[in-house]
Structure 1
Amino acid sequence: MENQTIKQIVLDQKEEVKEIFKTKIIEREIEEKVRDSLKDNLIKVIIGIRRCGKSVLSHQILKEKNYGYINFDDERLIGAKAEDLNDFLEVLKEINPDFNYLLLDEIQNVEGWELFVNRLKRMGHNLIITGSNSKLLSKELSTYLTGRHFAVELYPFSFEEFLKYKNFKYSKNDLYATKNRAHIKSLFGEYLKFGGFPELSKIEFKEQYLRDLYDKIITRDIVLRHKIKYFKVIKEISLYLISHFGSRITYNKLKNIFEINSVHTIKNYISYLEEAYLIFQLFPFSFKLKNQLKGARKVYAIDSGLINSVSFQFSSNLGRVMENVVFLQLKRKGYEIYFYHEPAGCEVDFIIREGLKIKELIQVCYNLDDLETREREIKG
């Protein structure tokens, strides 16, 4: 790739960053943790679904620093190779010779990026890298990046972050006032319907935005990345799982529904959807790992807005959507989560486990006014 082309891209991206700082930015729940990590010469790794705010968070943290920046999620950089990366570094140093920090956005798009990042660390650069693939959180990261690294996951806005973005300030005592409770309930209804992707608040056609985002994730983060031939099949499986969020599924059941010969193919497709942060699997509780892996598992989606925009919802089910929201909040907190189900019908939505101890049992219900619903939830 020509240095002049690279320079133009880097300068264009620098202008885009200026536009980011003109928009409204709130402090994210993990921001202080990442900011504190700048004191150490660790490789900072921020992972999460596309458009959840990784880049904005990174720029906000580095705002007062002298830093270089390259966004590899740029259509002009499709096809960039590992051997091009040093040219990018040279251009950055030409533009800003004295930068101390370096932000590499979606660098996993460049095959063989790991050696380049390791070299930058050895050169003394303080690095933040972002990615939209959960493999960057796996044990493979330790193999890729020699030395220590600091990895965090970022999700779309939590409800608390959503309220902050909406400039709604409250204390616990405020929740007892009817007016405030009504306002929070209204905002929560909006959050359940449209979810927490940060850009949504400034977009008029929210559902179209979410459908376009979903298609982009399926195409770029799954089909192209994994070189999948049967685009239609994996999209149908994805839509099925998102439409049946909170329901128990098995690989064999999916194999039969989609008439796929191999369970292995189903496993691969689901792992790709998980890696892209579209879905999460929740396993049944058991002290025996074998029973967890063999049993039917539940699937939850990354965002309630995405559920409402792309899934086949035949009726409004606020209870299940709220269950999905609670699941995501437990994930944000980093808990070890399971569910419990008995053939007789007794079920616990979420079990929080710490080591060998059960810390908490959680039942989720949007409305307990119905007597049958109330008895079922209490029985669970």
Structure 2
Amino acid sequence: MSKTNESTRITETKKFKNGWGYWWRTGRVELPDYIVERDIRRHYTRLRKSGNVLGLVGLRRTGKTTFLKLTLKRLDDLERACYFSFDLEGVSIRQLVEVFCERVLGEPISELEGEVHFLLDEVHNLENWSRHVKHFHDHYDNIQFTVTGSSTANILKGAGESLAGRFSTMRLRPFSFREYLRYHDIEPAETSLDSNEVPRNARKLRVKFDGYLKDGGMPELYRMENRRERLEEVIDLVFFRDVVELFDVGRSEILSGIFRILAQNTGQRVNFANICDSLNSDFRTVTTYVNYLEDSFLLSRSMPYRKSEMSRRRKNPKIYVADHSYADLYGAEKGLIAETVAFNHLSRIEKPQYMRDPEIDIVLPEKELMFEVKHTSEIKENTISRVAEKAKDERFKPFLVTEDVLDTREVSDAEVHLIPLWFLCLASS
């Protein structure tokens, strides 16, 4: 790295050195041993080749900052990459780009000798950040940006106004079960929904899955004491910094009440009228606040499977919390927590829906797969028959998600695949 005395003087001023962090002082990326690669790594690499500005969005405590530092560590030319955190005021994007290119690399911005990567953390703290990113993106082909922010809705909103057609988003979700295993130094073999082969270390995986159900998918909380209290603190931060401020919520107590009710009833069809009565609020406020929570990635909506789009919109959705730790925190039933785990896992494959009359919990229409979640080892024959009949009617491949049973049952010329929840959460497709 080209470091002149002048560049050192400028970048070691107070406003820059806090943002550069350890990378500037040591020239290398240092991360704790327990940090793991995320499953979206290949997706990130593919999007980066598109040349668009990339926005990494997701809930607090899902590891966005860590992902940026892992990205920095994996770059072929570390010396031409700049990680900077904007959690402190005083530095603009223009200042950062000019100082790094001209004073650190020693190259005029208009004559860069190769690609330069800027990984900008907490960029939502800057007003009009997207306008400045757009300027460099449009005028300098060798400059690439990846941005993150805790206020994810603000990231999307700001990018939509200035970076239309130039911005690609990638969502970082809470840990999957596979990532949880990797955190505990276990790398399970690749598997799919078509596989009936039990892994050799199935007992160990089953025990770890019990830990996953208890710990949830927020990796930054795993090593903290009093995790339930810290999880409550995270929720408060999301409410009051990422939702209330951004959307100008007038009644924060209604917002938190809605989330509590939906977390307790995760995976259930929503009756908005009942929520209005419970919180002494009006229908418009409740539905608007639910949209805010969804836009902030605290909730996900599942609509009924119908061939007609208008028909789907007229029906009440099922709503799931983004991580099963929220459901556990608010005392949801174990069966609903299990369904939430299944839903959030399958959301990584395709946007799920659900079926009615009779109800099937989760369906993936594009892949023509359906899943009924019964997290128990005592599976009733009438449940298997109901799933089989529905699968024949809809011509979907049926799965019955159990606690420990892995089997295939043939009913009325239809095969129903019984699959443990922990096994489902290892399947990539």
Normalized against structure 2, the TM-score is what?
0.74
Percent identical among aligned pairs is 23
**Counterpart in the other structure of 1:227:** 248
- 1:169 partnered with 2:187: yes
Distance of 1:221 and 1:110 partners within structure 2: 15
Distance of 2:368 and 2:223 partners within structure 1: 40
* Inter-CA distance 302–15: structure 2 relative to 1 (3 Å threshold): farther
Match of 1:353 among 337, 351, 365: 365
* Higher Cα Rg, which structure: 2
| Superposed CA offset, 1:271-306 (max 9, x none) | 111121111111112222222122111110111122
Counterpart mapping for 1:284-323 below 5 A: 284-309=304-329, 311-313=330-332, 317-323=333-339
Match of 1:68 among 62, 69, 82: 82
- 1:274 partnered with 2:294: yes
* Inter-CA distance 36–341: structure 2 relative to 1 (3 Å threshold): closer
Residues 6, 91 of structure 1: 8 Å contact kept: no
- 1:364 partnered with 2:362: no
Match of 2:227 among 206, 210, 230: 206
Residues 45, 130 of structure 1: 8 Å contact kept: yes
What value does the CA root-mean-square deviation take over the aligned residues? 3.1
Residues 20, 56 of structure 1: 8 Å contact kept: no
- 1:340 partnered with 2:355: yes
* Inter-CA distance 295–16: structure 2 relative to 1 (3 Å threshold): farther
SS at match of 1:202: coil
**Counterpart in the other structure of 2:405:** none
Residues 133, 275 of structure 1: 8 Å contact kept: no
SS at match of 1:327: helix
Distance of 1:7 and 1:162 partners within structure 2: 35
Q: Which range is displaced more, 94-103 or 321-330?
A: 94-103
SS at match of 2:293: helix
**Counterpart in the other structure of 2:346:** 330
Residues 124, 155 of structure 2: 8 Å contact kept: no
SS at match of 2:175: coil
**Counterpart in the other structure of 1:184:** 205
Residues 194, 306 of structure 1: 8 Å contact kept: no
Give the superposition deviation at 1:270: 0.9
* Inter-CA distance 339–119: structure 2 relative to 1 (3 Å threshold): same
Distance of 2:124 and 2:382 partners within structure 1: 47
Counterpart mapping for 1:18-97 below 5 A: 21-63=31-73, 64=75, 65=78, 66-72=80-86, 74=87, 76-77=88-89, 84-93=92-101, 96-97=104-105
Q: Gaps (5+ residues) in structure 1? A: none
* Inter-CA distance 236–167: structure 2 relative to 1 (3 Å threshold): same
Residues 49, 132 of structure 1: 8 Å contact kept: yes
Q: Which range is displaced more, 216-225 or 127-136?
A: 127-136
Residues 35, 61 of structure 1: 8 Å contact kept: no
Normalized against structure 1, the TM-score is what?
0.83
Distance of 1:231 and 1:176 partners within structure 2: 47
Distance of 1:20 and 1:259 partners within structure 2: 51
Give the superposition deviation at 1:375: 5.3
Q: Which range is displaced more, 271-280 or 40-49?
A: 40-49
**Counterpart in the other structure of 1:238:** 259
What amino acid is the match of 1:241?
Answer: L
SS at match of 1:41: coil
Residues 59, 298 of structure 2: 8 Å contact kept: yes
Distance of 2:234 and 2:117 partners within structure 1: 30
- 1:131 partnered with 2:154: no
* Inter-CA distance 6–222: structure 2 relative to 1 (3 Å threshold): same
Distance of 1:279 and 1:162 partners within structure 2: 21
Give the superposition deviation at 1:336: 3.1
Give the superposition deviation at 1:195: 0.9
**Counterpart in the other structure of 2:272:** 251
Match of 1:144 among 162, 166, 171: 162
Residues 194, 207 of structure 1: 8 Å contact kept: no
SS at match of 2:352: strand
Task: Count residues in correspondence.
Answer: 359
| Superposed CA offset, 1:227-274 (max 9, x none) | 22322221111111111101111333322221213x222222111111
| Superposed CA offset, 1:298-327 (max 9, x none) | 110111122212x144xxx33221211111
Distance of 2:22 and 2:317 partners within structure 1: 43
What amino acid is the match of 1:45?
Answer: G
Residues 152, 242 of structure 2: 8 Å contact kept: no
Distance of 1:45 and 1:305 partners within structure 2: 26
Residues 57, 64 of structure 2: 8 Å contact kept: yes
* Inter-CA distance 234–360: structure 2 relative to 1 (3 Å threshold): same
Residues 215, 222 of structure 2: 8 Å contact kept: no
Larger relative helix fraction: 1
**Counterpart in the other structure of 2:396:** none
Runs of 4+ in 1 over 6 A off after TM superposition: 15-19, 136-140
Give the superposition deviation at 1:26: 1.6
SS at match of 1:175: coil
SS at match of 2:376: coil
Give the superposition deviation at 1:102: 0.4
| Superposed CA offset, 1:110-138 (max 9, x none) | 33222111012123311111234554796
| Superposed CA offset, 1:19-65 (max 9, x none) | 86234222211102212443442212221111212221222122233
What amino acid is the match of 2:300?
Answer: F
